[in-house]
Amino acid sequence: MTTKYIFFTGGVVSSVGKGVTAAAVGRLLKDRGFAVAVQKLDPYINVDPGTMSPYQHGEVFVLDDGAETDLDLGHYERFIDVRLNRVCNITTGQVYAEVISKERRGDYLGGTIQVIPHITNEIKRRITQVTRTTGAELVLVEVGGTVGDIESLPFLEAIRQLRSDLGRENTFYVHVTWLPYIGATAELKTKPTQHSVRELRSIGISPDMIVARSDYPVDQGMVEKIALFCDVEKRAVVPMVTTPILYEVPLLLENAKVGDFILQRLGLEARQLPEWSQWERLIGEIRRPKPSVKVALVGKYVELHDAYISVREALKHAAMHLGVEIDISWVHSAELEKGRGWDQIEDVDGIIVPGGFGSRGIEGKIQAAGFARKGNVPYLGLCLGMQLMVVEFARDVLKNDLVNSTEFERSTPHPVIALMPDQQGITDMGGTMRLGLYPCHLVTGTISAEAYGQPVVQERHRHRFEFNNAYREVLEQHGMRFSGLSPDGRLVEIAEIEGHPFMVGTQFHPEFLSRPNRPHPLFTRFLQAVCERSGVVTQKSEPVA
Ligand code: GLN
C-alpha cells in the first residue's frame, strides 16, 4: 500500500502533550492492523540531544541503533510497543550538516543553496526515509515546537509541500492546541486556538483535525465553536481533558473515534478491530487502590522529573504488574553529600541510582549505595548507578577512599571504572560512547539470570566508561558477582552483591525497553525485593502481548 503520513503540529503553548497524542494515535492505528512508525522533527540546531543538559531537554532516549533522541521517542515506543531507529528523530542541525557537506563536495553543481528548496528537500527526504527503514505503512510525524516559532518554519513548509507531492488522500494534519481557562469568568477560551489555526493556514496548512487540550471538561458548544471558526468538521474536533493517567490517552482518543476518522479520511479500512480489553485492564489496575511502596531516586536533575522519565515509567510498569503503587522520593545527591535529605533515604524500601555524567553529586550517590549495601536495602544502579555501586564496594574492600572512576578522578590509585584501553586518547564529546543495543550473557545462579529467565539478552547502552577488569578477581573474592558479561567475557554488563536481598547494577539502561504491558524483569525483580522489605503482598499479573 502507498505510505500515508499523519502530521502533528502544536499550537498556543508547548508542553501540552503533542508527543503523547501522536504516540496514542499510533497505538490506535497499529491496533487496526497497520505497520506504524513515528518520527519527531526537532527544530534546534544541535545534531542530536546527546550533548544537551537534561535541564534543557529532559532525558535522552536511546534507540537500538544507538541514536540519542528526544524523550518523545520513549513515549512512542512505550505506547505503540515498537522499536524505532535513527531516522525517527531529525533535527535542524542534522539537516543543515547534510546540506552543507553536500555543498562542500560540490554536489549542487554551483547552485545557490537556499532554505527552499534545499533544506526543505532534505527534510522531505528524511521524512520519506522512515518507510524504507522501518517498513511502516503509516508514518506519524510530530513537528517539535509551536506554530509561530521561527525555527520550525522549514519543517512546516516541508510538510506543507508533502501534501501536494504525495496527494491529499495520503496526508492528514492534526493540530494539537490548548484551551486556557479564565478563572474570573470560569470559562475556557478558544481564541488562542483560532489564532494558531490562522497562523498555520497562513503558511498553507489546513488542519484536518484539532485536538483541543484542556484542564477542564469541554462542552459540545465549545467543540462546535472550534469547528466553525477553524473550519474543520465537528467530529474532527477532539477535546482532550488532562488525565493523571498517561496511558489512558489512547482510550480517550478511541472513544472520540479518532482512529476510525483518520483511516476514513485516508481512504483506508481497518484490517482488524482494536482489542482494548488488556489495555483497559491496565488502566483499571492503575486506578485500583493499592498498597504503596516507597523508592528513592537519587540523582542530580531530580527537580526535573522529565530527566528520568523512562526510569519513572519503568518503575510504574513494574508496580502495575505487581499490583502495588509506587511512590518515588526524588532525592538530590548533592544534598546527601552535605548531610541533608537522609531522612528521605531512611524512609524508603528501595534505592535507584540512575544514569548521569559529570562529577556533581557523585559522592552523595556513592553514599546512597553504601547505605543500601550495609542496610540490606534493595538497590538498582543504572549505568552510572552501577559504576558507583562498584566504586563504593571497592572502597570498602580495598580500604581506600581514593578508589574512583577515572571520569571523576583521573589520578585515582584504584581506577575501578575506567576507559577501555582502545578508548584512550578519544577526547571528542559527541559520538564517542558505547551506544545502542549490545548482547549480554547472563551467569547462571545469579539474581539477574533468575530475573531474566533466559541466557542471553540485548540491552541499550549509553556510556563511555567501563568496569576495569584488573579488579574483577579481588572484588569477586569479597562477594561481588559479575552476573552479566559481553559475549567475549571482556566487558562487565551487570554486577551484583552476593547475599544482599537485591543489589544489582547494570552498565546498560534497562529502562528504555520497559513497556506498560511488558515490564522489564530487573525492575520487576527490584520492586519485588522492595515489597518484601516493606511487607507489602504483591499480586503478580501475567505480562500481556
Ligand atoms: N558517565 C558514565 C559513563 O560515561 C555513565 C553514563 C550513564 O550513566 N549513562 O560511562
* pLDDT for residue 544: 53
What is the pLDDT confidence band of residue 23, given thresholds at 50, 70 and 90? very high
Average pLDDT over every residue of 84-100? 95
Taking CA atoms only, the protein residue closest to ligand 1 atom 1 is: 357
**C-alpha separations of 58 from 310, 437, 488 in Å:** 10, 22, 35
CA 226, CA 163: separation in Å to the nearest integer?
Answer: 24
Answer yes or no: are the C-beta atoms of 193 and 240 closer than 8 Å.
no
DSSP annotation string for 4-46:
EEEEEEE-SSS-SSHHHHHHHHHHHHHTTT--EEEEEEE-SSS
Nearest protein Cα to ligand 1, atom 9: 355
Q: How far is the CA of 538 from the centre of ligand 1 (A)?
A: 33
Ranges 184-198, 382-396, 499-513, 519-533: which has the least confidence = 184-198
pLDDT the model gives residue 330: 95
484 lines ligand 1 (CB under 6 A): no
CA 235 to ligand 1 centroid distance, Å:
48
Q: What percent helix, strand, coil does the chain show, rounded to 5?
A: 40, 20, 35
| Rounded Cα distance, 205 and 156, in Å | 8
Q: How far apart are CA 318 and CA 124, in angstroms?
A: 39
Tens-place pLDDT, residues 486-529? 999 999 999 999 999 999 999 999 999 999 989 999 999 999 99
pLDDT value of position 368:
97
Q: Is the pLDDT assigned to residue 426 strictly greater than 70? A: no
Mean pLDDT of 94-103: 95
* Residue 311 in contact with ligand 1 by CB distance below 6 A: no
The answer to whether residue 241 scores a pLDDT higher than 90 is yes
| Residue partners of 95: CB distance under 8 A and separation at least 6 | 119, 122, 123, 126, 154
Measure 428 CA to ligand 1 centroid, in angstroms.
15
Q: Give the whole-angstrom CA distance, residue 154 versus residue 362.
A: 42
Q: Which is the closest atom of ligand 1 to the Cα of 462?
A: 9
- Ligand 1 contact, 356 CB (< 6 A): yes
Q: Is the pLDDT of residue 422 over 90?
A: no
Query: Which atom in ligand 1 lies closest to the alpha carbon of residue 355?
Result: 8
Task: Say which amino acid occupies 472.
Answer: R
Distance, CA 170 to ligand 1 centroid (Å)?
Answer: 43
Grid coordinates representing 234?
A: 465537528
Q: Is the CB of 516 under 6 A from ligand 1?
A: no
Indicate if the pLDDT at residue 199 is higher than 90: yes
Q: Give the torsion sign (CA, 367, 368, 373, 379).
A: negative
**Hey, what's the cell of 409?**
578522578
Would you say the CB of residue 463 lies under 6 angstroms from ligand 1?
yes
Q: Is the peptide bond before 117 cis (omega within 30 degrees of 0)?
A: yes
Looking at every residue in the chain, the average pLDDT score rounds to: 93
Q: Assign 167 to helix, strand or coil.
A: coil
Mutation choice for ligand 1 from 462, 493, 509, CB with most ligand atoms inside 8 A: 462
Rounded CA-CA distance 312/24 in Å is 19
Residue indicated by cell numbers 536533575: 301
Percent over 70 (pLDDT), the chain: 97
State the pTM of this model. 0.92
- Spatial neighbors of 331 by CB under 8 A, at least 6 apart, are 296, 297, 298, 299, 302, 341, 344, 345, 368
Q: In sequence order, what are the residues at sequence separation of 6 or more whose Cβ sits closer than 8 angstroms to the Cβ of residue 306?
A: 54, 58, 59, 71
State residue 455's pLDDT score.
96
Q: Phi and psi (nearest 5°) for 214?
A: -160, 155
Active-site residue (options: 57, 175, 500, 509): 509
Mean pLDDT over 451-480 rounds to 96
Report the b/e string of 421-456 with b at 16+ CB within 10 A: eeeeeeeeeeeebbbbbbebbbeeebbbbebbeeee
Strand 68-69 vs strand 171-178: parallel, antiparallel, or unpaired? unpaired
User: From CA 282, how far away is CA 46, in angstroms rounded?
Assistant: 38
Cα–Cα distance measured from residue 154 to residue 148, given in angstroms and rounded to the nearest whole number: 12
Q: Which residues contact 459 (CB under 8 A, 6 or more apart)?
A: 437, 438, 440, 493, 506, 508, 509, 510, 513
Cα of 134 vs centre of ligand 1, distance in Å, is: 29
Burial 121-146 (b: 16+ CB within 10 A, else e): ebbbebbbbbbeebebbbbbbbbbbb
> Average pLDDT in the 367-392 region?
97
For residue 244, the model assigns a pLDDT of 87
Please tell me what DSSP assigns to residue 515. B
Note if 383 is an active site residue. yes
* 57 is known as an active-site residue: no
What is the distance in A from the centroid of ligand 1 to the CA of 121?
Answer: 37
- Is the Cβ–Cβ distance between 78 and 99 less than 8 Å? no
Confidence of residue 337 (pLDDT cuts 50, 70, 90): very high
Name the catalytic one among 383, 440, 466, 496: 383
Residue whose CA is at the smallest distance from ligand 1 atom 8: 355
Quick one: pLDDT band at residue 431, thresholds 50, 70, 90? low
Q: Can you tell me which atom of ligand 1 is nearest the CA of 382?
A: 8
Q: How many CB atoms lie within 10 A of CB 243?
A: 14
Q: Is 391 in the pocket of ligand 1 (CB under 6 A)?
A: no
- Residue 520 bears catalytic tag: no
In degrees to the nearest 10, what's the CA dihedral of 161, 167, 170, 172?
Answer: 50
Q: Which residues of 344-378 are buried (b: 16+ CB within 10 A; e: fewer)?
A: bbeebbbbbbbbbbeeebbbbbbbbbbbbbeeebb
| Ligand 1 atom closest to the CA of 509, numbered from 1 | 9
368-373: which pairs have CB atoms within 8 A and are 24 or more residues apart? 368/296, 368/298, 368/331, 368/333, 368/336, 369/393, 370/396, 371/345, 372/503, 373/497, 373/500, 373/503
**Which cell numbers hold the place of 324?**
502495588
- Distance CA(149)–CA(43), nearest Å, equals 9
Query: Of all helices (H) and strands (E), which one includes residue 342?
Result: helix 342-346
